[in-house]
Structure 1
């Protein structure tokens, strides 16, 4: 398992995400449960379970797999109200954050696909 990097991304309404990018191979799937994301605090087991679930759905079949795991800091009441007022969900914002973050750290060859 190779950690490519860890960085922070600030999305709309000041929502801050801590993003970790890792590269996995088939032989390292069993070690996914050993990962610890301090940002998740008591929910780190839930995050680990979701990472394993997503990896299994990807069915990389021996190819290296690059994953980006993002965890937001707790939202303030104002941030939650602003999101609700727009009729958006955290998942939509997270997808936008990951797309922007992936574009920023992706090699140039990926940007042309």
Structure 2
């Protein structure tokens, strides 16, 4: 699995803003030294880690290797409508919304992101 660089999805300015916000959260909430927080966030973002990346307005699709298998276990796409800590409100391609743990995205890769960060869905 290869994660798509965040700057290609939302542009370098928004990617930098997003990374700065995540670093500030780690520094203030977890008392992690800033240099270590920067390393943690950048490593996680480059790896496509859903825990670090999941945010409203995103569309996630199954990893390439899972799509090719066609096992039917993963829905074709998930949209993140809301995030509250470790819980997401996601919508599948059939417009069914459910609350799921962030870990539901571990079989997926971030595909697109409407940067407006609305609490409702931004793509149809």
Q: Considering the TM-score relative to the shorter chain, is it more than 0.5?
A: no
Q: What's the TM-score bracket when you normalise by the shorter of the two chains?
A: 0.3 to 0.5
**TM-score, structure 1 normalization:** 0.32
Q: Which has the greater radius of gyration?
A: 1
**TM-score, structure 2 normalization:** 0.30
